[in-house]
Chains A and B, each alone.
Chain A
């Protein structure tokens, strides 16, 4: 399964837009890109999933370029409560085969 690479950490301030990019150079044709958020002492929580171009929901947007070798999670106007670890996963959603690892994730710290 495709390995993912993300920045270890990012800092931001309340009200700013945050973009977290994930590299997945070996992504396969059938692979989807999924992002999860995790707070301390909790399990990961689904944020967004996409295959190509752009996907938007009530909490985030996901931008995927044509070659799909990377993806960018965009969080508009972050607040203190968005401080968490964000994971990018790549896997074949159709067969139910999940990414074997979550990768190291990106620790986002939002300051007042």
Chain B
């Protein structure tokens, strides 16, 4: 069974540019989560999808971040325009049911210069 995959693994962009991160959850997992760790800080929740619906987006830092999950399969997280403080590692996780353990991807290392 394939795990959660994230693309790209690394991204280096300049301040003001746009970046789109992609997450492919494990097949059959309706729940998809985005987390991030910015430099020196803890891993923090961003949002939670159940299929294509946003269940909880309370962790999204501001309106420069847009997450989508069209069709309830893969998800994208767009940052537009990127700022220096957006640098960090963005993790995606999925689970079959809400009460089950999360499976995490390896993350996308985002560097905004």
* Residues of A in contact with B (beta carbons under 8 Å apart): 34, 36, 41-46, 49, 87, 93-105
- Given A34-B101, A43-B106: A100 and B91 interface contact (C-beta under 8 Å): no
- In the assembled complex, how far is the CB of residue B72 from the closest CB belonging to chain A, in whole angstroms? 15
B61 CB–A CB distance under 8 Å: no
* Residues of B in contact with A (beta carbons under 8 Å apart): 4, 31, 33, 35, 42-45, 48, 50, 55-56, 58-59, 91-93, 98-99, 101-107
- Given A45-B104, A49-B101, A96-B98: A101 and B48 interface contact (C-beta under 8 Å): no
- Given A43-B4, A100-B59: A95 and B105 interface contact (C-beta under 8 Å): no
The 3 closest A-B pairs by CB, nearest first: A43-B104, A96-B98, A46-B101
B98 / chain A contacts, CB cutoff of 8 Å:
93-96
B92 / chain A contacts, CB cutoff of 8 Å:
43
Q: Are A44 and B33 in contact, with the CB atoms below 8 A? A: no
- Given A41-B106, A45-B104, A93-B99: A98 and B45 interface contact (C-beta under 8 Å): yes
- Given the complex of chains A and B, what is the CA–CA distance between A102 and B44 in angstroms? 7
Q: Determine the residue in chain A with the shortest Cβ distance to B44.
A: A101
In this complex, the member of A94, A96, A105 whose beta carbon has the largest number of chain B beta carbons within 10 angstroms is A96
B33 / chain A contacts, CB cutoff of 8 Å:
98
Partner of A101, one of B4, B43, B105: B43
A105 / chain B contacts, CB cutoff of 8 Å:
42
- In the assembled complex, how far is the CB of residue B64 from the closest CB belonging to chain A, in whole angstroms? 20
Q: Determine the residue in chain A with the shortest Cβ distance to B55.
A: A96
Q: Are B48 and A96 in contact, with the CB atoms below 8 A? A: yes
- In the assembled complex, how far is the CB of residue B29 from the closest CB belonging to chain A, in whole angstroms? 12
Q: Are A103 and B105 in contact, with the CB atoms below 8 A? A: no
